[in-house]
Chain A
Amino acid sequence: MSEDEISMSRPSVGEAGRTGDWRNSRPIVESAMCLAVKQGKVTCQICWAYCPDGCITRSIGPVIDLTYCKGCGICAQECPAGAITMVPEAEHGVCALDETSEGEL
């Protein structure tokens, strides 16, 4: 009997497809305001901690995976430095594959 006779999935990123297509607005990071960037070390990391989908890196200045970011806005809401703003998708159009939002240094 083969494994195919029972249903056992394997994990993968993007199980639900490009969930980035769900969003109405995307998070834009203003690096200059990010506490980690200003201090040059891995500090704060609140946006990383609160992203429900694990789309934000734990780093000096967050890198947000726009292929999968659903645009919930929690990162923008919780950032203590106001470094993240939710900007309507209409201003950006369709995003390219593997696009990330990490802001300019």
Chain B
Amino acid sequence: MSVMTGNEAAATAAKLARVQVIAAYPITPQSPVVETLSAWVESGELPAEFVAVESEHSALTVCIGASTVGARVFTATSSNGLAYMNEQVWWAAGARLPIVMCIANRALAAPWNVLNDQQDSMSERDAGWIQLYCRDNQEILDTTIQAYRIAERLHVPVMVCYDGFLLSHTMMPVSVPNAESIDAFLPPLAAPLTVVDTADPRNIGPVVMADPRADQTGVVRPGYMELRVMHQRALLEALKVIPEVDAVYAEATGRSWGGLVWGHLLDDADVVIVAAGSLATQATVAVETLRSEGIKAGVLGIRSYRPFPADAVRKALAGRKVALVFDKALSYGYEGPICADVRAAMLGADSSPPVFGAVCGLGGREVGPEHVADAARRAITDADTGVSIRETDWINLKLEG
């Protein structure tokens, strides 16, 4: 058992996954990932190509290039770095490359803020990556390794998200699996779908028209929409693959993370707190407090945010008194993204409870178990008085806006 930060856990996972090309640009709070990996590459501890790129856009581009020829790649970023590489985030997904990227979640500018919230990865939720959220450093290590198997199975890139500073810089006990068990779990990357071969010269990623078009042998090939639908179907298949991979990993290491979602004291819960990331861990402390007050509270942790586990959420929330969804982000002009998705999933479902939203932690605003518990008490009161639609509950706002 080691003690390490979330960033070290991410770097350790990349090492265990035997990544072959690393390209990353430093940004708070991800920088130690890059520093650690470059030290290991220089010492020979990790025999990989380390490309000291000059920007995040180039970091993901180098990964796209290397992945296209069949190398296993790794990158990581946060906040504005992720925003900068946004074009390439879409590219990697549309190109169906099995890239794994860790995100040390941090608030987006403007204004500048280096502290944690989940706005950065949430802003990429439409791009067609798998998004997995980690509740602690052990999960970061395990999930990053799992991410390669998922990505390479489905040809969909995976973002492994963990809270900046709260996890990235906090030391926690982490059990590091031995190389043999991970080598068995994650064999070397099989030949990529992309063909870069002078014996079979292909033009990869060209202009694709709206409609299907025949090739020179008369075979009709997909149009843009068909390609995108195939991509979407791969993401939906991930709903099965993510739990499968988690189960195989559990056999290899003894640790499972619940697949798509996980529950804490969920079985008989009246009020369910829904959250992703370390906040969900804090929620487990909150529900223990609430339980001691006689309130039957439970936690539904969102591990896979994309693909969105709609069925699992419907099953978990059916018949409850109220669901309170926490977001550390906003879809500005509407509401918290996880809340919006949960509410949409519950529409028309049997025995759907009112779904209330709480937004917390923006720009590193403190949120602790007592804030969560208070919000849950407010949610119960509102549900008891028959409220079904309610404005966003702002958690720990300190001045009137």
- Interface on A for B, CB 8 Å cutoff? 1, 3-12, 14
Return chain B residues, CB-CB under 8 Å to A14: 216
- B residues near A7, Cβ cutoff 8 Å: 204-206, 208, 221-222, 227
B234: interface (CB < 8 Å): yes
Is B348 an interface position by the 8 A CB rule?
no
Knowing that A1-B234, A7-B208 are A-B contacts, what are 12 other residue pairs whose CB atoms are under 8 Å apart, sorted by A's residue number? A1-B155, A4-B230, A5-B96, A5-B227, A6-B155, A6-B227, A7-B206, A8-B205, A9-B206, A9-B215, A10-B201, A12-B216
Contact indicator B202/A9 (Cβ below 8 Å): yes
Q: Assess the A5–B234 pair: CB atoms within 8 A.
A: yes
On whether A8 and B204 interact (CB within 8 A), knowing A1-B193, A1-B234, A3-B193, the answer reads yes
User: Which residues of chain A are near B227, meaning CB under 8 Å?
Assistant: 5-7
Dominant SS among interface residues on chain A? mixed
- Given the known inter-chain contacts A5-B155, A5-B193, please indicate yes or no for A11 contacting B201, CB distance below 8 A: yes
Residue of A4, A5, A10 touching B202 (CB-CB under 8 A): A10
Q: Is B247 an interface residue (CB 8 A)?
A: no
A18–B81 alpha-carbon span in the complex (Å):
46
The B185-199 residues at the A interface (CB cut-off 8 A) are 193-195
> Is the beta-carbon distance between B203 and A11 smaller than 8 angstroms?
yes
| Neighbouring A residues of B66 by C-beta, 8 Å | none
A6 contact set on B, CB distance < 8 A: 95-96, 155, 193-194, 204-205, 227
Residues of A within 8 A of B234 (CB): 1, 5
Say whether A8 contacts B203, CB under 8 Å: yes
A10 touches B215 (CB 8 A): yes
- Size range of the chain B interface in the assembly: 20 to 34
Q: Specify which of B96, B154, B216, B222 is in contact with A10 (CB 8 Å cutoff).
A: B216
For residue B206, which residue of chain A has the nearest CB? A9
Taken together as a complex, chains A and B put the C-alpha atoms of A9 and B222 apart, in Å, by 11
SS of B interface (majority): loop
Pairwise interchain contact A5-B206, C-beta atoms closer than 8 A: no
Between-chain CB contacts (< 8 Å), 25 pairs: A1-B154, A1-B234, A4-B222, A4-B230, A5-B227, A5-B231, A6-B95, A6-B96, A6-B155, A6-B193, A6-B204, A7-B204, A7-B205, A7-B206, A7-B208, A7-B222, A7-B227, A8-B195, A8-B203, A9-B202, A9-B203, A9-B215, A10-B216, A11-B201, A12-B216
Question: Which residue of chain A lies nearest to B223 when distances are taken between CB atoms in the complex?
Answer: A7
Q: Which residue of B lies closest to A8 (CB)?
A: B202
A11 to B198, CA, bound (A): 12
Contacts of A8 in B (CB 8 A): 194-195, 202-205
Quick one: which of B30-85 are within 8 Å of A by CB? none
**Contact indicator B230/A5 (Cβ below 8 Å):** yes
Per the bound structure, the CA–CA distance linking A10 and B216 in Å amounts to 8
- Contact partners of B216 in chain A: CB under 8 A: 10, 12, 14
Q: How far apart are the CA atoms of A12 and B154 in the complex, in Å?
A: 30
**Distance, CA A11 to CA B208, complexed state (A):** 15
Contacts of B230 in A (CB 8 A): 4-5
Contacts of A12 in B (CB 8 A): 215-216
A3 → B minimal CB distance (Å): 6
In the bound complex, CA of A97 to CA of B366 (Å): 75
Complex interface residues of chain B between 208 and 238 (CB less than 8 A to chain A):
208, 215-216, 221-222, 227, 230-231, 234
Residues of B near A4 (CB, < 8 A) are 221-222, 230
Bound: A4/B234 CA distance, A: 13
Chain B positions within 8 Å of A5 at CB level? 96, 155, 193, 227, 230-231, 234
Distance (whole angstroms) from the CB of B299 to the closest CB of chain A = 36
In the A-B complex, the 10 residue pairs with the closest CB atoms: A12-B216, A9-B203, A8-B202, A5-B230, A6-B96, A8-B204, A7-B208, A9-B206, A6-B193, A1-B155
* Across-interface contacts of B194 in A (CB, < 8 A): 6, 8
Complex Cα–Cα for A80 and B221 (A): 46
Q: Which residues of B contact A3 (CB under 8 A)?
A: 193
- Measured CB to CB, the closest approach of chain B to A72, in angstroms, equals 23
A105 smallest CB distance to B (angstroms): 34
Point out the residues of chain A lying under 8 angstroms from B193, CB to CB.
Answer: 1, 3, 5-6
Contact string against A for B residues 84-96, beta-carbon threshold 8 Å, 1 for contact and 0 otherwise: 0000000000011
Interchain CA distance A8-B215 in the complex, whole Å: 11
A17 to chain B, nearest CB (A): 12
**Interface bits B275-310 vs A (CB < 8 Å: 1, else 0):** 000000000000000000000000000000000000
Minimum CB distance partner of B155 in chain A: A1
Least distance between B64 CB and chain A CB atoms (Å): 13
